[in-house]
Amino acid sequence: MMGTLKTEPARSRSDLLAPPVAAALGQWPADAPVDVDQVLVAPIDADLADTAAFCAAYGVGLEVSANCVVIAGKRGSETRYAACVVLATTRADVNGVARRALDVRKASFAPMAEAVELTGMEYGGITPIGLPGDWPVLVDARVAATPHVIVGSGVRHSKIALPGPALGALPGARVVEGLARPAQPTA
């Protein structure tokens, strides 16, 4: 599952985490369904952080690699943000399921600079762990059903490995059936 990644407990390696991620792991609830020591981190080459390159280089299957995308939508003058966590074999239904969950007329991927500034994480490494507390974290049911998944760590030079069900138990998280659709094969 973890290919050639060399993992260790994430909370002991804050040098491999964005500050908000390290803070969230430091406040991991004792009653969480997954012990914080089951959240692992592995260093990677930052140039290989993008999903396809990462999976190919480290022998990790796309079916266990999860992407966290930040979406934004407006309701009146208010901009609402959410994170969508989907498997790499799928694509988030941003203007269907995610838009309705955010309760906005139209949703789109948040601009890169905005997502980076609001999360305190690096683009290409954004993770659902440590996001702003008022953001919904929408987790596709397929992710939550995956025994172990690989996600970003908040930085491009590492990845986090943890049980999929843990993502559905994060603060503000909601497991959503049909949040993602199968990705279209590239020609």
**Any domain includes 78:** yes
Average pLDDT of the residues of the chain: 94
**Any domain includes 2:** no
Of 145, 132, 48, the closest CA to residue 90 belongs to 145
By residue range, what is the domain housing residue 16? 8-182
The count of C-alpha atoms lying within 13 angstroms of the C-alpha of 21, restricted to the half-sphere facing its C-beta, is 29
What's the number of domains the chain is made of? 1
Query: Which CATH number belongs to the domain containing residue 31 in this structure?
Result: 3.90.960.10
* Burial 125-138, CB ≥16 within 10 A → b, else e: bbbbbbbeeebbbb
**Any domain includes 187:** no
**Any domain includes 41:** yes
**Any domain includes 3:** no
pLDDT digits (tens, 9 = 90+) for 107-117: 999 999 999 99
3-class DSSP state of 156: coil
Q: Which pLDDT score, from 0 to 100, does residue 165 have? A: 93
**Any domain includes 1:** no
Question: Is pLDDT above 90 for 2?
Answer: no
Q: Which pLDDT score, from 0 to 100, does residue 50 have? A: 93
**Any domain includes 28:** yes
pLDDT band, residue 12 (cuts 50/70/90): very high
CB contact at 8 A, 20 and 120: yes
**Any domain includes 76:** yes
Q: What is the mean predicted confidence (pLDDT) over 65-94?
A: 95
Q: Which pLDDT score, from 0 to 100, does residue 149 have? A: 97
